[in-house]
Amino acid sequence: MSLRFREILSSGEFVITSEIGPPKGTNLAPMLHHIELLKDKVHALNVTDHQSSVMRFPSLGGAMLIREKGGEPILQMTCRDRNRLALQADLLLAYSRGIRNVLCLTGDSVVVGDHKEAKGVFDLDSSQLLMAVRSLEQGKDLGGNELDGKPEFCAGAIVTPEARPLEPQLIKFEKKIQAGAEFFQTQAIYDLENFERFMDYARPFGVKILAGIILLTSWRMAEYMNKNVPGVYVPQHLIQELKEAPKGEALGVGIQIAGRMIKTLKEKRLCHGVHIMAIGREELVPEILQAAGLDGTGG
């Protein structure tokens, strides 16, 4: 990958990102396989940070591996597990190892994960982590102390276009921009009309928006998300489409739905790109790209 992510974002090209979930343990083979499979098919790869508060191999380790393999990592960083010293230190380490992109997240609550008795840190929130990134770039840490050598990052955050109520999330979206976010990955979207309305609101802010695409694997999964995942609403007609799939072909229909959405988003230029989350089914990302009429962005 010759271009860095920020250059791609500003190139006007429709941006494709995806993500890698690190292993629970030291067996890196499946993650390495996914990195090799995807690094030249998408513009950048997120590495999740103890997703859903489940302890895993760290996102920083995954991002370093992507770098070693010649891919472009986006380091996901949550505020759940580290205080401001540890977060800033990890940003310095990331920069020193060639990582230039960071996605700043508050992080899920500890109690949704697999270490329910742990202490949730939240010394900073996502906006304040963005401020920390920008402060380090100015050569000062959050304590106001001078740095000997400063990092530089393309910093992003997330936004939930389908949140209910929506306005509090939009206020936060604007604060994240004020704090220094240049790009946003959205929570999964399925209703393109709603998303178009969100984009009408978001476009004037001048930040890059990557629509979140979560692969639907069955109608049950869609209904589960509707019931349990904040800010995700799969419309009834998509659930029906999955239900009508011949036995054993629901996953294929899910891939077609994801591909179709990406295609529409790209053709209508509704946003600047997509972020594909296959959650445990990373090997299917090339098929989604194919269904979208994109057979890998190449380098």
Binding site for other proteins (CB under 8 A): 84, 106, 108-109, 111-112, 120, 122-128, 131-132, 142, 158, 160, 163-165, 167-169, 171-172, 174-175, 178-179, 187, 230-231
CB of 179 to other proteins, least distance (A): 6
CB of 200 to other proteins, least distance (A): 20
Residue 295 CA from chain centroid, whole number: 21
Nearest to other proteins of 40, 174 (CB atom): 174
Nearest to other proteins of 25, 144 (CB atom): 144
CB of 194 to other proteins, least distance (A): 16
Q: Which residue has 């790009």 as its token pair?
A: 183
Torsion of CA 75, 80, 85, 90, to 10 degrees: -20
CB of 123 to other proteins, least distance (A): 7
Contact by Cβ (8 Å): 77, 89: no
Nearest to other proteins of 106, 256 (CB atom): 106
CB of 208 to other proteins, least distance (A): 19
Nearest to other proteins of 69, 122 (CB atom): 122
Q: How far apart are CA 221 and CA 141, in angstroms?
A: 43
CB of 86 to other proteins, least distance (A): 13
Nearest to other proteins of 49, 287 (CB atom): 49
Q: Which residue has 């109520």 as its token pair?
A: 165
Amino acid code (one letter) for 143: G
Q: How far apart are CA 47 and CA 102, in angstroms?
A: 10
Contact by Cβ (8 Å): 269, 12: no
Nearest to other proteins of 66, 179 (CB atom): 179
List Cα–Cα distances, 45 to 31, 151, 240, 245, 268, in angstroms: 12, 20, 32, 31, 24
What's the distance, Cα to Cα, between the start and end of the chain in Å? 5
